[in-house]
Amino acid sequence: MRRKLEITITHLYPDHMNIYGDLGNVIALYKRCEWRGISVKVEKVGLKGRLPKETDIYFMGGGQDEDQITVFRDLLSKKDDLTEQIEKDVSFLAICGAFQLLGKYFLTGEGKVIEGIGTLDIETRAPDTKVKSRCIGNVVASLNSEIFITERMQLDTIVGFENHSGQTFLGKDVQPLAFILKGFGNNMKDKTEGCVYRNVIGTYLHGSFLPKNPHIADLIILNALERKYEGKFNFDELDDKEEVLAHKDLLQRFNVL
Amino acid sequence: MFIISNLAKIVIVLLRFFRLGGGTSLPGLLIEKYFPSLISKSARKYKEIVLITGTNGKTTTQQLLKHLLTTKGIKVVSNVSGANLFRGIVSAILMDCNLFGKVRSDIAVFEVEEATIPNLVKYLVPNYIIVTNLFRDQLDAYGEVVKTRSYIQEAINRSREAVLILNSDDENVSSLSTGLRNKTIFFSIQDKRKKDIFFERKYFKFTGDKPRDNAFAEKIKINEDLSSVFDYVGLNKIFKNIEFSPPGIQNIYSAIAAITTATQLTNFNNKELNKVFHSFIPAFGRGELVNVQGRSIKILLIKNPASFTANLSMLRSKSALKLMIVINDEIADGRDVSWLWDSKVELLSEADISWITVSGKRANDMLLRLKYAEVALLSADVESNIAEALSMSLARLKEGETLYILPTYTAMLGVRKAIGNITKIREFWK
């Protein structure tokens, strides 16, 4: 008899870091567990809330500028706990603002340095206040084949929408999640998008990232299961017709097929 | 002014004649660019200027207020739907000027895009500023709620004489009056169904430093065709049994804001007001009923999570619901379709749905959203071409049945065109 699998998703700062459709990612993780018969629950941790001692997947989205500063101060108080769990391979999906906050520092447009919690070896600089440019628009990127066995995945690209002014540069301890085919990604220069460190995925693709990238959603769930139940898992494939259609619409639009 | 005004008018006439953009914004663009201060001179001649801003409900509020005032014989100038940037408003004023640059209307009622209003009040001095609500909107076009609010605050701070008419069910709006001496009237609805409205988290708290006047709707009833009946309780005025055709709870805010402003400007008795409301036809896409070959179509514009959620919340109680959802991602729709995931599409999971047609450039994104909301996909057809999707839907629709179409902005224009090819429908700028 198969044992009943359980997954806990911890949604960090759902009220403050939920700027634009970030909830879609939690919905995707939740449903894809549920559809496979994995028992799943979502716990929310807000400002002044305590991190759980044990969880399987952390999710944190982007926020409005003001909220991001509030959240950032709070997150600093959780730094040690969070870092410890990440080093023990807890899964973490960090989108946009959350991705930035996990880094070493954020240099504001006015030249002020905000020290990050430093879990990820990344640095983010806001453009000079005189620069009005923003990285905004649809994104298509090919997954980093050095860290993903892309031949075995049903899709080897990621698609989404980015909207950020911060320019993020990766250090040597993290690897790019993907390489840009259309859009900007981490910054306007080096064509990298997002990063991977242990079981942490950071990305600038906000909102409906996981629904249209079911292979990444499954990867996160699989990593979490393998860590929790210590073993290899081959879980049921789902019928991803609609996911793949929505994904390929963007590939087609930008002639990346 | 004389020459400019006439030049602009010639441009408008030519544009109209050749049907280019309905002649709505181009002349204003020229004035905005080269001679913005010329417009203040003409605008000063209006007895009253009312500016309406906020995320949702601007158009309905404007059209209703205009309708209320017009029936009292007041000449009203307004901008047409969608042309709510500086240039659109300037164009409307130009169109209202005679050959000597004098305005023809008594009162100006303009809907104003949120980021435009701080600049606009440098040239037009408003007597009234109505703020409908502050919802999360297309992030790529408008930015964050806090940012949007700061534009409106800036405009209000510059308008010391203006009476503020503010939605007090939305604290991000009511707090705009904090610390100001402006006369302020709050409007709200007294009904527990308002909890379904997607108000944004409170970024600002209203700290009342003096008592404000209140106007509200109560005893609200939503009819089978989604129109409403309610009582208005205002400043020393009560109007009973107002029938309002735009659908759902969310539109009643527009009615309350319009009545509150109109009763500041002129007088109505209950009978008159009922009659005026009775003859009000919603703006295109705001719940207007269109008849096509004996079948009814109701078009409900969706542009952000608040309007999508409000419409779904209203439709979920319908039996044998026939639905067409059309999602585009042009600039006017928002290029980013992430907002579909902020909308409570889950409301449909327990609705009695006969079938759904999904269309538009982002039809597959919508289909995916339905899948994750556990809405039965077996009943969904996908056709990205809007005209095709409409014919498919009409073919499935039996006589006497109603099709509800939820389109984004440019999708609405596509739907309008498709319907226009089947039947005759009035041009949207009239």
Is residue A1 in a domain?
no
In this predicted model, what pLDDT tens digit does every residue of A125-141 receive, in sequence order? 987 666 667 899 999 99
pTM, rounded to two decimals: 0.89
Give how far B341 is from chain A: nearest CA, Å: 5
Task: Collect all residues with Cβ–Cβ distance below 8 Å to B78 and sequence separation of at least 6.
Answer: B62, B63, B66, B92, B108, B109, B110, B111
Note the pLDDT of residue B143. 65
The answer to whether residue B202 neighbours chain A at the CB level (below 8 Å) is: no
Chain A hits for B359, Cβ within 8 Å: none
Q: Which domains does chain B have, with CATH numbers?
A: 2-278 (3.40.1190.10), 286-422 (3.90.190.20)
Higher local confidence (pLDDT), A66 or A45: A45
Q: State the sign of the Cα–Cα–Cα–Cα dihedral B102, B105, B106, B107.
A: negative
Q: Test A23 with B341 for CB contact under 8 angstroms.
A: yes
Please give the ipTM for the structure prediction.
0.95
The answer, yes or no, to whether residue B173 has pLDDT greater than 90, is yes
Cα gap A239→B381, rounded to integer Å: 18
| pLDDT-derived band at B359, boundaries 50, 70, 90 | very high
Q: Which residues of A touch B201 (CB under 8 A)?
A: 15
Residue A247 vs residues A159, A182, A194, A217, A239: alpha-carbon distances, Å = 6, 14, 18, 13, 14
Residue in chain B nearest A15 by alpha carbon:
B201
The CB density around residue A53, as the number of other CB atoms within 10 Å, is 7
Q: What is the pLDDT of residue B132?
A: 97
List, as one string, the DSSP characters of B313-343: HHHTT-SSEEEEEE---SGGG-S--THHHHS
- Residue A217 placed within a domain: yes
Residue B61 and residue B51: Cα distance in Å, rounded? 10
Q: What angle is formed at CA A54 by the lines to CA A50 and CA A56, rounded to 5 degrees?
A: 115
Residues 6 or more apart in contact with residue B301 via CB below 8 angstroms: B285, B286, B307, B406, B407, B408, B409, B412
Q: Which domain holds residue A136?
A: 6-231+238-253
Q: What is the pLDDT of residue B8?
A: 58
**Lowest-pLDDT choice from A82-86, B208-212, B288-292, B348-352:** B208-212
CB distance A207–B338 less than 8 Å? yes
CA atoms of A94 and A12, how far apart (whole Å):
10
Compute the nearest-CA separation of B187 from chain A (Å).
27
C-alpha–C-alpha distance, residues A154 and A118, integer Å: 33
Residue A211 is part of a domain; what is its CATH number?
3.40.50.880
Shortest distance between the Cα of B21 and any Cα of chain A, in A, equals: 27
Contacts across the A-B interface (CB distance below 8 Å): 85
Cβ contact B184:B129 at 8 Å: no
Q: Do B371 and A208 touch (CB under 8 A)?
A: no
What are the tokens at A191? 């064509």
Q: pLDDT category, B34, cuts 50, 70, 90? A: low
Cβ B117 vs Cβ B164: under 8 Å: no
> Which amino acid is present at A250?
L
**In terms of CA atoms, which chain B residue is nearest residue A65?**
B144
Pair A46, B368: CB distance under 8 Å: no
Whether residue A24 has pLDDT greater than 70? yes
Both tokens assigned to A112:
């002020």
Residue of A nearest to B343 (CA): A21
Per the domain annotation, does A190 fall within a domain? yes
- Tell me which chain A residue has its CA closest to the CA of residue B139: A20
Nearest beta carbon to residue A161 from set B145, B336, B367: B336
What are B79's two structure tokens?
A: 């901008």
Min Cα distance A137 → chain B (Å) is 7
Tell me whether residues B335 and A137 touch, CB distance under 8 A.
yes
* Position A201 in a domain: yes
Query: Which range among B41-55, B63-77, B131-145 shows the weakest confidence by mean pLDDT?
Result: B131-145
Q: Tell me whether residues B139 and A138 touch, CB distance under 8 A.
A: no
Element (H, E) at A56: none
| Residue numbers in B near A245 (CB within 8 A) | 364, 367-368
Å between A216 CA and nearest CA of chain B: 16
Active centre residues of A (catalytic): 96, 206
Chain mean pLDDT for chain B:
88
Q: Chain B interface, mutation test: which of A64, A203, A205, A213, most B Cβ atoms within 10 Å?
A: A64
Subunit contact A20:B335, Cβ cutoff 8 A = no
Q: Stretch B183-206: mean pLDDT, rounded?
A: 87
Residue A135 lies in a domain: yes
Taking the Cβ of residue B141 and every Cβ of chain A, the question of whether any pair is shorter than 8 Å is answered with: no
pLDDT at position B169 over 70: yes
In chain A, residues with a C-beta closer than 8 Å to the C-beta of B378 are none
Q: Do the domain assignments include residue A104?
A: yes
Residues of A in contact with B377 (CB under 8 A): 242
Count how many residues are written for chain B: 430
Distance from CA of B367 to the nearest CA of A (A): 7
Q: What is the mean pLDDT of residues B142-146?
A: 75
pLDDT tens, residue by residue, B36-56: 777 787 888 999 999 999 999
The sheet with strand B380-382 has its strands ordered as B286-292, B295-300, B402-407, B321-326, B353-359, B380-382
B 258-277 → A contacts, CB under 8 A: none
pLDDT tens, residue by residue, B380-423: 899 999 999 999 999 999 988 999 999 999 999 999 999 988 87
Which of A15, A17, A19, A20 best probes binding to B when mutated, by most B CB atoms within 10 angstroms?
Answer: A20
How many domains does chain A divide into? 1
Q: pLDDT band for B227, please (50, 70, 90 cuts).
A: very high
Query: Does a structural domain hold residue A197?
Result: yes
From chain B, pick out residues whose CB is under 8 angstroms from the CB of A208. 337-338, 340-341, 365, 368-369
Q: Is B13 helix (H, G, I), strand (E, B) or coil?
A: helix
Residue of A nearest to B201 (CA): A15
Query: Terminus-to-terminus CA distance in chain B, angstroms?
Result: 26
Q: Do A208 and B203 touch (CB under 8 A)?
A: no
